Structure 1
């Protein structure tokens, strides 16, 4: 039996890790220790609770106004005390957060093999997204096993000199989590969601939170205000906990009758909201994968992305964070929504619901406990006649 230390600290990590953790815990080949850094607090605990997961250890690093340097220092200090006690055979990290980088460094410091789930995503600009692009590039230099969601992600790693025999293409576990979530029976009543299902207006799910876009969030809010003046539209904005983000939306949109500024939803309710939405407008990395998977026109509030598969296939479009461009693209889709619904904008480029199975298989194979994994592959064909692509200007 191999000991696996699973380190996580944020809500997105919890969601994407959820299926993997539960599968690892059921597998007799592994003993699993779940270590929460507490980089997010309530949001992390709520997401883990959806999957009935409780951390074995909590470093509780979250403090108001903390810097990236402080997050990294507190996590590495906490793991320096914990890892020698646990003596894991491997340490798994996910994605590109401060927790991911600090935990990978800690594994390296203690000569513990690091397994990187959701490896190989690249935007090509080390400062966008910041600090995520830098984090994942640094982790790639440390990891012993790279679990890349897509063939494109694997190609990025190969270009950077990572040996192919250390890369496994798995699909993204966010698709596993999403497909599971939308099949769950709602627990309790959510008045807003029930109302949305009865509302005949076009529902836009909007959000923005990225650090590099903070100064542009007032422009995004103003663009949403213009769009929300249409009588056929209702906009729902689950507000991020960050006070900079919240204040920008509240200052501009609090008095709009057809704009719902709401607290963050639990994961299951958020999936229900995505499934009800007609359009998703967001800078969230999760939305970039979830929206196209659900077949929702997804407008990405960024100028570049590390998840280009959906933009290539026509399932999503980069609109940037210019108010004029946001208004143009959203209204264009609203005015042609029936055409979009009749088109095939759904994509399985990010996964087929079997990523967790491949992740577990790849970890087992890494230790010689199972056969090599058949990699996930979904072609990413360009579709030049797709409305998203040809009318993007």
Structure 2
């Protein structure tokens, strides 16, 4: 039995790793050890619990207003102190957080192979998103096995000199999680949303929390006020717990009668809220994947993205962070039924719900215990643009 340490610390990591952990648990050839850094302690624990999971080791690094350097240092120190003697044969990390980087460095220092889930995403700009773009590039230089969600992500890695034999295109595990959630979601998780199903208005689900958004949060909040002033619209904002976000947003949106502000919702409740929404407005990377998968037009509060697939497919659109730009783009969709329908029916390029199975199969092959894995291939309706996702032209279009 192969022991695999899965290092995670944030809610998005929990969502996207949970299907993989469950798949590893179901395979008698593997013994997964779930290690939480506690980077987002409460939201992480709640999300893992929704999947019936809990960490085997919790480093508990969370502290108020700690810096990125402190998060990375404390995660790496905790791993060195509590995980070095586990005898793990691989370290699995996801995506691009400070926890991801610390987990990869831990694997490197212990001379343990690093497996990178959601590998190969690139924005082409080292400072956007910050620090995620730098983190994933660094992990890309450390990883022994790169699990790329899309053909475009794989091509990014090849372009950087990563060997093709160390890359497997799996699809994105967020689609696996979303399908599971669709079968298990029950309720919205907050009394303020109890009337949502009977509310005839258009529901705009909005969120913003990225570090590069912080200076623009007042403009984003002002845009939400204008959008909520439309008589046919109700805006719902699950507000991030970060005090920087709350201090910038709440004074602007907190008292508006048509903006419902709630705390971050449990994962299953949030999935139900996404399904109820008519439009998603967010700077979240998860929204860029989940919105298209649910057929929800998704307006991305960024100028550049490492997930250009949905933008090219037409189901997501980069709208920036200015008040005027956001209000204009939302109005264009709400006032033009054909534009709305065009975005709502565009292709989902991110997965088929089998990414976790491919991930475990890729791990078996990596250890010489199974055949090579047939890669995820997006549907024929998006094959034509898959190769273009790695070109400079696409990066230019998404700036």
TM-score (norm 1): 0.95
- 1:43-102 per-position Cα deviation (integer Å, ceiling 9, x unaligned): 110000011111111111111121111111111111112333101110000000000001
Match of 2:183, SS?
Answer: coil
Contact 1:313 1:380 in 2 (8 A): no
**Secondary structure of the equivalent of 1:182?**
helix
Q: How far apart, CA to CA, are the structure 2 residues paired with 1:26 and 1:366?
A: 18
SS in 1 for 2:205: strand
Q: Look up the match of 2:395.
A: none
1:75 aligns with 2:82: no
Report the equivalent of 1:387. Answer: none
Residue of structure 1 equivalent to 2:221: 221
CA distance 1:75–1:343, change in 2 (3 Å): closer
Matched residue SS, 2:186: coil
- In 2, distance between residues paired with 1:382 and 1:129? 24
The residue aligned with 1:321 is 321
Q: What CA deviation, in whole Å up to 9, does each residue of 1:129-173 have, x standing for no partner?
A: 000000000000000000000000000000000000000000000
Give the 3-state SS of the residue equivalent to 1:120 in structure 2: coil
Partner residue, 1:236: 236
Question: For residues 343 and 331 of structure 1, do their structure 2 counterparts lie closer, same or farther at Cα, with a shift above 3 Å needed?
Answer: closer
1:209-228 per-position Cα deviation (integer Å, ceiling 9, x unaligned): 00011010000000111111
Please tell me whether the aligned partners of residues 279 and 296 of structure 1 are also in contact (alpha carbons under 8 angstroms).
yes
Relative to structure 1, the CA distance from residue 344 to residue 247 in structure 2 (aligned partners, 3 Å threshold; closer, same or farther) is: closer
Query: Counterparts of 2:155 and 2:131 in 1: how far apart (Å)?
Result: 22
Aligned with 1:215: secondary structure? Answer: helix
Instruction: Quote how far apart the aligned CAs of 1:344 are.
Output: 5.5
Task: Indicate the SS of the match to 1:216.
Answer: helix
- What 5-or-longer segments of structure 2 have no aligned partner? 387-397
Counterpart for residue 276 of structure 2: 276
Deviation at 1:189, TM superposition (A): 6.7
In structure 1, the partner of 2:56 is 56
Give the corresponding residue for 2:4. Answer: 4
Task: Please name the residue that 1:386 is paired with.
Answer: none
CA RMSD of the aligned region, Å?
1.6
- Check the 8 A contact 1:289/1:350 in 2, yes or no: yes
Q: Which residue of 2 aligns with 1:186?
A: 186
Q: Report the CA distance between 1:182 and its aligned residue.
A: 1.3
Instruction: Give, in angstroms, the shift of residue 342 of structure 1.
Output: 6.5
* Aligned-pair CA distance for 1:345: 2.7
Aligned to 1:65: 65
Residue 149 of structure 1 contacts residue 171 of structure 1 at CA under 8 Å; is this kept in 2?
yes
Q: TM-score normalized by structure 2?
A: 0.93
- Rounded Cα–Cα distance in structure 1 between residues aligned with 2:343 and 2:37: 43
* Aligned pairs (5 A) from 1:353-364: 353-364=353-364
Residues 186 and 269 in structure 1, CA contact (< 8 A), matched pair in contact too: yes
Task: Say if 1:207 and 1:282, in contact at 8 Å, map to a contact too.
Answer: yes
2:110 matched residue in structure 1 = 110
Helix, strand or coil for the counterpart of 2:255?
coil
Q: 1:277 to 1:269 in 2, by over 3 A?
A: same
Return closer, same or farther for 1:306/1:26 CA change in 2, 3 Å cut-off.
same
> Counterpart in 1 of 2:26?
26
Secondary structure of the equivalent of 1:183?
helix
Find the residue that maps to 1:84 and give its secondary structure.
coil
Equivalenced residue count is 384
Counterpart of 2:291 in structure 1 is 291
The verdict on how the C-alpha distance between 1:36 and 1:233 changes in structure 2, with shifts beyond 3 A counting, is same
Q: Distance in 2 between matches of 1:368 and 1:162?
A: 20
* Contact residue 312 and residue 380 of structure 1 kept, 8 A: no
5+ long unaligned stretches in structure 1: 384-391
> What residue in structure 2 maps to residue 375 of structure 1?
375
Would you say the 8 A contact 1:8–1:100 is kept in 2? yes
Distance 1:343 1:143, change over 3 A: closer
Q: Helix, strand or coil: the match of 2:147?
A: strand
Q: CA deviation at 1:348?
A: 2.6
Residue number in structure 1 paired with 2:177: 177
1:136 alignment counterpart: 136
- Deviation for aligned residue 1:184: 1.3
Output the CA distance in 2 between the equivalents of 1:244 and 1:342: 36
CA drift of 1:381 comes to 4.2
